[in-house]
Amino acid sequence: MKKHKLTTTVIIMLGFLAGALVGTLCLLLPVSLRPGQKIDFFDALFVAMSSVCVTGLSTVNIGQTFSAFGQVVILFLIQFGGLGIVTFTTLILCVFHRRITLSDRMLIQSAYNLDTLTGLVRLTLRIFKITLILEGIGAVGYFFVFVPQFGIKGIWYGIFHAVSAFCNAGIDLLGGNSFCAYSGNIILNLTTIFLIIVSGLGFPVYWEIARSLFPYRFQKEGGYTRKLNLHTRLVIIATSSLIVAGTFLTLLFEFDNPATLGIMSWPEKIMAALFQSVTLRTAGFATISQELFRPVSCLAYLVLMFIGGSPAGTAGGVKTVTIVLLFASMFANIRGKKDVTIMRRKIADETIRRCVAIVTFSLSTLLLLTMALLAVQQSNFLDTLYEMTSAIATVGLSRGLTGSLNPVGKLIVSLTMYLGRIGPITLALAFNSNAPAENITHAESKVIIG
């Protein structure tokens, strides 16, 4: 009898789902709640799904509802969701000195979309080490803010928010207003911006930059280079461009809005606009309440949230490189070019088809589930679209709708967060399956488009 092995796609899907369900059960335990607090199944599921999908939306006040144990559970779910099931599985195998089989290595290779089986375990361990180092740097930055204010509890606040920021979760312990009380705190703003940006670049970019900066350090590990590859250059350019564009648009549309930037000095305006632009890259923290922004700003924010961060990192969205390749394909068609080229490099047709599939899948899912939520909630259209875009891009920003969701609405948003976390990933990996290619060539036919 032929055995059916689980594919990478299925393992990732089941891994995130299992993490959310286990987290739900843990959060329902009395020890997870503060004295006098209660939580039902739908709220526990919502918080667990938001944590493991590193989204940040919450139907309850995290700091006031959950005890220290419950907060540790949430922190573990965030770290698990940020690193992913593949990295965690590899770490567990290494801790228990289990042999990393060929199938395990192929799983890692598929998860990070790499073209080699050499050094994958070492790469995974380095990803974990880099994560701890960067989160540690962020925690120290937060210590300068929270320890003077909260005393010894500020150490825990620093660690929790550093992990939450690096994993692009946006879950906080400060109440329902995120970082709004710290909009003028330079240390907190810069620490958060640093963690969001570095985590949103993607782990392969770290590796490539390290190889470029320290070439002889990696000479014995399969070669070295002083020149960044195409992927890394695209990520850096796209990330920088989107951050600058988001900052500029926020200043343009909100500089005279008395509810947002209007009452700030220009240095404060720039810092607040920069923070807003960066957090839209699927981080979810906020120094200004989202419902106070003008509709024109929110329209720009919807686009930035949908794009998200870069591949193989902790950020969500359809990813920066995907959008860059789609625009490159569009310009190639407009100019009548047969091939899509970027920086004198041809992009494979298969890659372009994946980009189209990922964006189409995500946009179709967003529109369908937004209609479903509007049907059961009958809420404001902009608030609902903002909520659902935030959910499918795993951002965590809300215009105040999350707290008023009914049980069916909570399930719809939870499903959206889950599909947003695994959807583009699993869809991309599905195209990498080892299924035999179809050798039949059908007759060509023309249809009218445009």
Q: Is the model's pLDDT at 89 over the cut of 50?
A: yes
Over range 65-88, report the average pLDDT.
85
pLDDT digits (tens, 9 = 90+) for 322-360: 999 999 999 999 998 888 999 888 998 888 988 898 898
In-domain check, residue 38: yes
In-domain check, residue 278: yes
Task: Name the residue among 152, 231, 137, 233 with its Cα closest to residue 190.
Answer: 137
Give the per-residue pLDDT at 311. 81
Give the per-residue pLDDT at 1. 45
**Number of domains present in the structure of the chain:** 1
In-domain check, residue 436: no
If pLDDT is split at 50, 70 and 90, which confidence band does 72 have?
very high
Structure tokens at 71: 């907060």
In-domain check, residue 225: yes
pLDDT digits (tens, 9 = 90+) for 119-149: 566 777 777 888 889 999 999 999 999 999 9
pTM of the predicted protein model: 0.87
**Could you report how far apart the first and last alpha carbons of the chain are, in Å?**
51
Q: Is the model's pLDDT at 243 over the cut of 90?
A: yes
In-domain check, residue 447: no
In-domain check, residue 265: yes
Give the per-residue pLDDT at 27. 96
pLDDT digits (tens, 9 = 90+) for 387-430: 999 999 989 899 999 989 999 999 999 999 998 887 755 655 55
Query: pLDDT higher for 80 or 388?
Result: 388
Give the per-residue pLDDT at 436. 52
Structure tokens at 218: 């990696």
The rounded mean pLDDT for the chain is 84
How many C-alpha atoms does 449 have within 13 Å on its Cβ side?
A: 3
In-domain check, residue 437: no
In-domain check, residue 178: yes
What is the domain range of residue 98?
Answer: 8-429
382-to-82, 170, 291, 299, 378 alpha-carbon distances in Å: 28, 21, 10, 9, 12
Distance between CA atoms of 375 and 387, rounded to whole angstroms? 14
**Paired strand residues for 347:** 340
Distance between CA atoms of 108 and 6, rounded to whole angstroms? 14
68-83 and 85-95 helices, crossing angle to 10°: 100
